[in-house]
Amino acid sequence: MASGVNESRGGGFSIETLRLPLAALGIFGVLAGLAVWLVQGDFGLAPRILLAAGILLLGVYVALDPEDALSHLTARGALASGNTLAIGLAAVVILGLFNVLGSRYQTKFDLTANKQYTLSDQSVKIAQSLPQPVKISAFLTANDSRKQDFQTLLSDYSNRSGGKLSYEFISRAASWRRTSRGHHRDRHDRLPDGR
């Protein structure tokens, strides 16, 4: 038994040398599992396997030397790093919440001389009283400089209509495909929110 310990310390194979790679692989597995879960949108087989493998490897790391793992977690540096990470994450979450609230309750200030990007009262009334959903398809060339102007106005119409009015921009090339091959739409021409 004693000779076995001496062998493992004497430069040969030691299970100790595997501990750190196991921990690194475990963390990678957990992060990869979470990333796949987020990207795919459902907790399918791949994220489950990655998460399970990651947790298992981390478990093996702790089981091989529980005292060492605990001392790593309670060391001054680790506690400070943990605090730093927690403060960083808290800051990101709080700032994220501000953005969510900012997007939900946004206000627009139109400083153009003739209020070019502000809907008139009559337009707002029409948008608010749409009897049924309306979809606007705007056919523009790919680099049409007016696209942004149209988007600003159409976005305002869409917000005022309570979601009844939606819109999409279709470039000339995509519109050609759409008319020649049925209702194929180029996803790059859609807005990020899918409107």
Partner 1 sequence: MRNVWAVAMRELHTYFLSPVAYVVIALFLALSGYLFSLILINGHEASLRGLISNVSVLFLFIVPAISMRLMAEEQRTGTVELLLTNPVQEWEIVTGKFLASVMLLLVMLALTLLFPAFLFVFGSPDRGPIITGYVGVFLQAAAFLAIGLWASSLTQNQIVAAIIAFALLLVLWLSDNFGQVLGGTIGAIVSYTSVINHFQSFPQGVIQTNDVIYYLTLIVAGIVLSTLVLQSRRYR
> Contact residues for partner 1 (CB under 8 A)?
38-39, 41, 76-77, 80-81, 84, 87-88, 91-92, 95-96, 98-99, 102-103, 105-113, 116-117, 148-149, 151-152, 187-188, 190, 192-194
Between 8 and 152, whose beta carbon lies closer to partner 1? 152
- 16/149 with CB nearer partner 1: 149
Separation of alpha carbons 66 and 83, rounded Å? 22
Pick between residue 3 and residue 114 the one whose CB is nearest to partner 1.
114
Burial class (CB in 10 A: 0-12, 13-18, 19+), 138: middle
Closest CA to 174 of 191, 188, 160: 188
Q: How far is the CB of 114 from partner 1 (least distance, A)?
A: 8
Query: Would you tell me how many other CB atoms lie within 10 Å of the CB of residue 66?
Result: 10
DSSP assigned state of 42: S
Q: Residue 77, Cα to own-chain centre: how many angstroms?
A: 31
Of the pair 24, 87, the CB lying nearest partner 1 is at 87
Q: Minimum distance from CB of 93 to partner 1 (Å)?
A: 11
